[in-house]
Structure 1
Amino acid sequence: MVAGAEIIHQSIPVLDVQYRCITKEIEEIVDISAAAAAAASPPPSPVCLQVARRPEVDIAASELDLRASDAIPSVPVEPLQFVPRIRSGSFADIGPRRYMEDEHIRIDDLSAHLGSLLRFPTPNAFYGVFDGHGGPDAAAYIKRHAMRLIFEDAGFPQASEADKVFLDLVENSVRRAFLLADLALADDCTVSSSSGTTALTVLLFGRLLLVANAGDCRAVLCRKGKAVELSQDHRPIFAAERQRVEELGGYIDDGYLNGVLSVSRALGDWDMKLPRGSPSPLIAEPEFRQATLTEDDEFLIIGCDGIWDVMTSQHAVNIVRSGLRWHDDPERCARELVTEAVRLDTFDNLTVIVVCFSAEHQGSSPSPGSEDHQLQAPRLKCCKTLSAEALCKLRSSINNGS
Structure 2
Amino acid sequence: MEEIEGFNCGESKSPIDGRPPNPPSSAASTFRQCHHNKKPLVRHPSLMMTKLSDVSAEPERATEDCQSDFFPKLRSGGCGNMGFRSSMEDVYVCVDNFMQENGLKNHIDGPSAFYGVFDGHGGKHAADFACHHLPKFIIQDDDFPSDIERIIASAFLQTDNAFAEACSLDATLASGTTALAALVIGRQLVVANAGDCRAVLCRRGKAIEMSRDHKPVCMKEKKRIEASGGYVYDGYLNGQLNVARAIGDWHVEGMKSRGGGPLSAEPEFMSTKLTAEDEFLIIGCDGIWDVFRSQNAVDFARRRLQEHNDPTMCSKDLVDEALKRKSGDNLSAVVICFQQQPPPNLVVPRSRVHRSFSAEGLRELQSFLDNLGN
Q: TM-score, normalised by structure 2?
A: 0.73
C-alpha displacement of 1:95: 0.6
**Matching residue of 1:287:** 268
Which of 171, 174, 194 matches 2:152? 174
Q: Distance in 2 between matches of 1:185 and 1:136?
A: 13
Secondary structure at the counterpart of residue 142 of structure 1: helix
- State yes or no: 1:195 paired with 2:175: yes
**Matching residue of 1:209:** 189
The structure whose RCO (Cα within 8 Å, separation 6+) is larger is 2
Superposed counterparts of 1:223-262, under 5 Å: 223-262=203-242
Q: Which segments of 5 or more consecutive residues in structure 1 lack a partner in the other structure?
A: 10-77, 159-165, 369-402
The Cα offsets for residues 275-306 of structure 1, whole Å up to 9 and x where unpaired, read as 73233110101000110011111000010111
- State yes or no: 1:360 paired with 2:360: no
**Matching residue of 1:63:** none
The Cα offsets for residues 359-392 of structure 1, whole Å up to 9 and x where unpaired, read as 1113233669xxxxxxxxxxxxxxxxxxxxxxxx
Q: Distance in 2 between matches of 1:297 and 1:192?
A: 43
Superposed counterparts of 1:91-106, under 5 Å: 91-106=79-94
C-alpha displacement of 1:109: 1.1
The 1:115–1:275 alpha-carbon spacing in structure 2 relative to 1, beyond 3 Å, is closer
Q: Distance in 2 between matches of 1:138 and 1:293?
A: 32
Q: Give the AA of the match of 1:363.
A: P
Q: Give the AA of the match of 1:136.
A: K
**Matching residue of 2:364:** none
**Matching residue of 2:289:** 308
* Residue pair 2:189, 2:271 contacting (<8 A) in 1 also: yes
Q: Which segments of 5 or more consecutive residues in structure 2 lack a partner in the other structure?
A: 1-8, 13-24, 30-64, 350-374
Q: Distance in 2 between matches of 1:111 and 1:227?
A: 29
The 1:275–1:236 alpha-carbon spacing in structure 2 relative to 1, beyond 3 Å, is closer
Q: Distance in 1 between matches of 2:313 and 2:182?
A: 21
Q: Name the % identity.
A: 44
C-alpha displacement of 1:99: 0.7
Q: TM-score, normalised by structure 1?
A: 0.68
**Matching residue of 1:394:** none
* Residue pair 2:82, 2:330 contacting (<8 A) in 1 also: yes
The 1:336–1:122 alpha-carbon spacing in structure 2 relative to 1, beyond 3 Å, is same
Aligned residues: 291
The 1:269–1:206 alpha-carbon spacing in structure 2 relative to 1, beyond 3 Å, is same
**Matching residue of 2:144:** 157
Superposed counterparts of 1:319-398, under 5 Å: 319-365=300-346
Secondary structure at the counterpart of residue 323 of structure 2: helix
Q: Distance in 2 between matches of 1:317 and 1:7?
A: 30
**Matching residue of 1:270:** 250
- State yes or no: 1:108 paired with 2:96: yes
* Residue pair 1:202, 1:212 contacting (<8 A) in 2 also: yes
The Cα offsets for residues 124-155 of structure 1, whole Å up to 9 and x where unpaired, read as 11101111001011011112223322211x44
RMSD between superposed Cα atoms in Å: 2.5
C-alpha displacement of 1:119: 4.3
Q: Distance in 2 between matches of 1:2 and 1:206?
A: 27
* Residue pair 2:200, 2:283 contacting (<8 A) in 1 also: yes
Q: Give the AA of the match of 2:307.
A: W
Secondary structure at the counterpart of residue 180 of structure 1: helix
Q: Distance in 2 between matches of 1:226 and 1:296?
A: 10
Q: Give the AA of the match of 1:239.
A: M
- State yes or no: 1:88 paired with 2:76: yes
- State yes or no: 1:125 paired with 2:103: no
The 1:156–1:347 alpha-carbon spacing in structure 2 relative to 1, beyond 3 Å, is farther
C-alpha displacement of 1:120: 4.1
Secondary structure at the counterpart of residue 91 of structure 1: strand
